[in-house]
Amino acid sequence: MPSPFKTIGVLGRSHDADFASALVAMLDMLSARGHRLIVEDRLRSGLPSDADYSFAERSDIGGKADLAIVIGGDGSLLSAARTLARHEVPVLGVNRGRLGFLTDINPDQLLHAIPLILDGHYESESRFLLDASVIRNGEVIARADALNDVVVNSGASAQMIEYELYINDLFVYRQRADGLIVSTPTGSTAYSLSGGGPIMHPSLDAVVLVPMFPHALSSRPIVVDGNSSIRIDILPRNRIHPPVTCDGQTNMTARPGDSVLIQKKPHRLTLLHPVGHSFYASCRDKLRWSAALVD
């Protein structure tokens, strides 16, 4: 049966000297199988000058490819996913980073696992993203999206910010804290986890709100419906301009009196995994669950 993925986009970010060799090996394998390849332009320098690939900017690949393969860590996939999701192209992650919750194919599995997936032997799952807007005097002055989380925080200053939280226009609380993490299930194993938030299965349609060092012992994370409209009002009496960060990569800046509106995006990301992929197995491996137990 012919592969359902005729045109494959390859994206990533070089981290070390071994990256180029892994990239070339994968591209050679894909070319030998007869796939048309579109390689992200930033990877051009690590490839042979006579390579028979097309090159394109990241923003153009999603609309041309049947599948996107991202080589790198979770950060590389997060960055690519925000661009690719709007094209609804499925994404496969090859891990060249540390944890690899999203990029679950290791380099030593690359030449074995990818052909199986290209032949249709894979599992897919859908992940939703968040859209964050900074609103000033009733107008949107900045917008960004996130697969993991949107974080409103006090920045480098050792000061708290005071904000009010509204969910679906219903008042929840006024709080002084270092900030607030608004996380998808995908991001629940990232910054949210470090802040004391719960681990959420990726299939859940929910968002968790995790206060950062709140000035109240009773303040705890809240899990709400994924379709909720979340608004964070930065009170006018604040003296700092809190950064609003999406996936730890895209930054906006709010001012006292601004609001940050966070909602689910209409486009979803489709992730492909090898057959037998298990979120719980990933947690056991990456978070070292049961590591202290001895048979």
Q: Which residues are catalytic?
A: 74
Q: What is the DSSP string of 52-100?
A: --EEE-HHHHTTT-SEEEEEE-HHHHHHHHHHHGGGT--EEEEE-SSS-
Per-residue b/e over 16-40, b at no fewer than 16 CB within 10 Å? eeebeebbeebbeebeeeebbbbbb
Backbone angles phi, psi at 232, to 5 degrees: -115, 115
State how far the Cα of 177 lies from the Cα of 165, in Å rounded to an integer.
12
State how far the Cα of 127 lies from the Cα of 139, in Å rounded to an integer.
29
CB of 71 closer than 8 Å to CB of 77: no
Sign (positive or negative) of CA dihedral 57, 63, 69, 72: positive
